[in-house]
Amino acid sequence: MNPDKLVDMANQIAQFFEALPDAHEAEAGVADHLRRFWAPSMRASLLAHVHARGTAGLRPLVVAAVAQLEAAR
């Protein structure tokens, strides 16, 4: 899948979770959503994109979720 599309999708997920009052709960919610509903290949593509291009264009909750995903690897 196109990495730019994955960034857009991840940012949309983060935008939903930004409504939560607890930042840690919001971060965990984004990471959990990516683990549960994204195919492993989608997660791997997002991580590869972050490694290649950095986190520019990603909402802060996505950046935090990516860090959680990498820590779990």
* Helix (H) / strand (E) containing 2: none
Domain of residue 20, residue span: 3-72
Query: For residue 1, is pLDDT > 90?
Result: no
Q: How many domains does the chain have?
A: 1
pLDDT in tens, 3-47: 999 999 999 999 999 999 999 999 999 999 999 999 999 999 999
Contact 59, 14 (CB under 8 A): yes
**Whether the model pTM is above 0.85:** yes
Q: If residue 54 lies in a helix (H) or strand (E), which one and from where to where? A: none
